[in-house]
Structure 1
Amino acid sequence: MPHSTAPSRLLILLSFSAVYIIWGSTYLAVRFGLEGFPPFVLVALRYCIAGLLMAGYCFFKRETLPSLPIVSRQALSGILMLVGGTGMVAWAEQYITSGQVAVLIAAQPLWFLLLDKANWRKYFSDKFIISGLLVGFVGIILFINMGEHEAKESSMKLAAMIGVQIGAMLWVVGSLVTQKHKGGASVIMNSSIQLIAASLCAAIIALLMGEYQGFSFKNVNTDAWLGLIYLITFGSLVAYVAYIWLLGHVAPALISTYTYVNPVVAVILGWLMADEKLYGGQMLGLVVILIGILLVNVPSYKKAVVKDEN
């Protein structure tokens, strides 16, 4: 989308750093949070507090709410991305490691191509994109099938892996919605609407799933509180706002490069801080997925290089 003034390179660099590094670390923070909070209770608290803080900032700055259609679209995108996407991540991490979830989330750009119907003609006329899609989904199948299947919980592990892919699809749909219906409100205002809507939806899901039964804040340990605080401050207030801002200033293909970095950060942190393991076959799956993502982004990278040269 054209802008009268281009954003500074420093701001773009800082935003990408937040999305690359902080989001990669949030997978481990979710794992720590789950030591004391049920998954959708954790999601609801995270987004409620972050959303109210952002809304308070907007009202302090005397920003006005956007029109009702824009509010409803932003709320919908927030629910899709933050409950459908991140909520599914929290649920899945009960059964598979944070590193495994991050690797599976790396396939998001592939779902973006399949779900961005308006650009299908452009996407599927390019040999790099078609081959990248095929290679990427081979990587997903490899990853799912190359783990440990002897554990009693193997059926739930498989369900969690499939659930993560469903969450990735919902995140992409939400991203497409927010890209097309930003309105004239600030990034902070739109993000606060998304977060508050997501927190309300997650709270309802937690109720329907019986997560409040037997739950008490008194039983939440220090690691879980620290995980929640990190998710609120860095995961939502910093990295999520950076992502929403980038959606309005940078090509989607370039934004999607965070999927190269996030799984590597998550796997390393999970290994260092939580003794998580990733099997050799799954590492192969990760490499194949990343090769697929690289292939589908080749046309965008070539276009960006030509533009810079001109």
Structure 2
Amino acid sequence: MMSNAPRHPLLPAAAAGLTVVLWASAFVAIRSAGDAYSPGALALGRLLAGALTLGALCVVRREGLPPRSAWRGIALSGVLWFGFYMVALNWGEQRVDAGTAALVVNVGPLLIALLGTRLLGDPMPPRLLAGMAVSFAGAVTVGLSMSSGGGGASLLGVVACLLAAVAYAAGVVSQKPALGRASALQVTTFGCLVGAVVCLPFAGRLVTEAAHAPVSATLNMVYLGVFPTALAFTTWAYALARTTASRMGATTYAVPALVVLMSWLALGEVPGALTLVGGALCLAGVAVSRSRAAGRSRRVAAGEPRPEKVG
């Protein structure tokens, strides 16, 4: 069994924060690259860029193959999260704006909490439930404010984002046991490789579309692979190994608020008062759900019993 004790108690929280920021940026980058690349081709290009980056890191760090006991979780998360999720999200974002997509996908943390409690025995303390409720209310407020601003969300786009949310939740719950048997870098690298293999049927379209795509779209695709995939999925796995799936899922409720902020800074879209209120609620809910997380993580890493008991 691998030791998950952090060298510094703030590292898991910092890793989770970096993940949230990079994943928020992915929603904007997908919208930009989606004008030139189809959903499957964009997913494959992103995964190939991510796999090359992660592979290089594995070579530098001399990381070997994960143990056999970790492969079930790696394979499931690779198919569901790295493969199906990315294709479905790309498809959805071709039909809805980035803010709406972020809102719909962020029903995922609720699914993670339910699946984590049922399958992983994750605790469901009142503070986590309260934080999730506040953040979900904020995410709904953000989505409503953006929709009222003239964004038309197609039914197919919303359905695609919902499917992405289901795949995301199932992928996280599948990944969690593997992180007890392999390093975060190993789990992320080979999960990314599995996802790339799943998306190989789109290789022909990727080659054709890359030949005609503008440089900016291709750079956005490479950015998605290097940063929101290679870096952010690794920092996510590092943090997930040191806390519960439910608590990590609640952290991503900050994503819709950050998507609005990034759209404001990058595209000059000034958010309205209702959007700002929703964003503040998202961040407040994350603060509530993650409070006392560092102390609990230190106790678990040190082998002390958890203060709450699932029952």
What's the TM-score bracket when you normalise by the shorter of the two chains?
Answer: 0.7 to 0.9
> SS state of the match for residue 291, structure 2?
helix
Alignment correspondent of 1:118? 119
Are the equivalent residues in 1 in contact too, given 2:47–2:192 (CA < 8 A)?
Answer: yes
User: What CA distance in whole angstroms lies between the structure 1 residues aligned with 2:34 and 2:177?
Assistant: 34
Are the equivalent residues in 1 in contact too, given 2:70–2:182 (CA < 8 A)?
Answer: no
How far residue 179 of structure 1 moved from its aligned partner, in angstroms, is: 0.9
Alignment correspondent of 1:181? 178
Alignment correspondent of 1:192? 189
Residues 259 and 58 (structure 1), Cα distance of their counterparts in 2 relative to 1, 3 Å cut: closer
Alignment correspondent of 2:7? 7
User: What CA distance in whole angstroms lies between the structure 1 residues aligned with 2:12 and 2:206?
Assistant: 44
Residues 89 and 241 (structure 1), Cα distance of their counterparts in 2 relative to 1, 3 Å cut: same
Alignment correspondent of 1:160? 157
Residues 37 and 302 (structure 1), Cα distance of their counterparts in 2 relative to 1, 3 Å cut: same
User: What CA distance in whole angstroms lies between the structure 2 residues aligned with 1:101 and 1:201?
Assistant: 23
CA RMSD, Structure 1 to Structure 2 (Å):
3.9
Residues 277 and 162 (structure 1), Cα distance of their counterparts in 2 relative to 1, 3 Å cut: farther
Alignment correspondent of 2:106? 106
Residues 245 and 291 (structure 1), Cα distance of their counterparts in 2 relative to 1, 3 Å cut: closer
| Aligned counterpart in structure 2 of residue 301 of structure 1, from 258, 281, 291 | 291
Alignment correspondent of 2:37? 37
User: What CA distance in whole angstroms lies between the structure 1 residues aligned with 2:293 and 2:70?
Assistant: 32
How far residue 106 of structure 1 moved from its aligned partner, in angstroms, is: 3.0
Are the equivalent residues in 1 in contact too, given 2:92–2:101 (CA < 8 A)?
Answer: yes
Are the equivalent residues in 2 in contact too, given 1:109–1:293 (CA < 8 A)?
Answer: no
Alignment correspondent of 2:258? 265
How far residue 47 of structure 1 moved from its aligned partner, in angstroms, is: 0.9
Identity among equivalent positions (%) equals: 19
Per-residue CA deviations over 1:112-151 (Å, capped at 9, x if unaligned) read 122221367953xx666667777777777777777659x9
Are the equivalent residues in 2 in contact too, given 1:78–1:195 (CA < 8 A)?
Answer: yes
Alignment correspondent of 2:92? 92
Per-residue CA deviations over 1:58-117 (Å, capped at 9, x if unaligned) read 245543312445234312212211223333221111011112212233332211122221
How far residue 264 of structure 1 moved from its aligned partner, in angstroms, is: 1.8
Query: Between Structure 1 and Structure 2, how many residues are aligned?
Result: 299
Are the equivalent residues in 2 in contact too, given 1:99–1:276 (CA < 8 A)?
Answer: no
Residues 31 and 154 (structure 1), Cα distance of their counterparts in 2 relative to 1, 3 Å cut: closer
Single out whichever of 158-167 and 271-280 deviates more from structure 2.
271-280
Amino acid at match of 2:163: I
Structure 1 residue ranges without an equivalent (≥5): none
User: What CA distance in whole angstroms lies between the structure 2 residues aligned with 1:290 and 1:115?
Assistant: 23
User: What CA distance in whole angstroms lies between the structure 1 residues aligned with 2:58 and 2:207?
Assistant: 36
| Aligned counterpart in structure 1 of residue 234 of structure 2, from 241, 250, 262 | 241
Alignment correspondent of 2:309? none
Structure 2 residue ranges without an equivalent (≥5): 305-311
| Aligned counterpart in structure 1 of residue 225 of structure 2, from 218, 229, 232 | 232
**TM-score between both structures, scaled by the size of structure 2:** 0.76
Per-residue CA deviations over 1:3-37 (Å, capped at 9, x if unaligned) read 47432246435423421322211111111211221
How far residue 274 of structure 1 moved from its aligned partner, in angstroms, is: 3.4
Are the equivalent residues in 1 in contact too, given 2:109–2:253 (CA < 8 A)?
Answer: no
Single out whichever of 23-32 and 260-269 deviates more from structure 2.
260-269
Residues 87 and 93 (structure 1), Cα distance of their counterparts in 2 relative to 1, 3 Å cut: same
User: What CA distance in whole angstroms lies between the structure 2 residues aligned with 1:44 and 1:237?
Assistant: 14
Are the equivalent residues in 2 in contact too, given 1:85–1:168 (CA < 8 A)?
Answer: yes
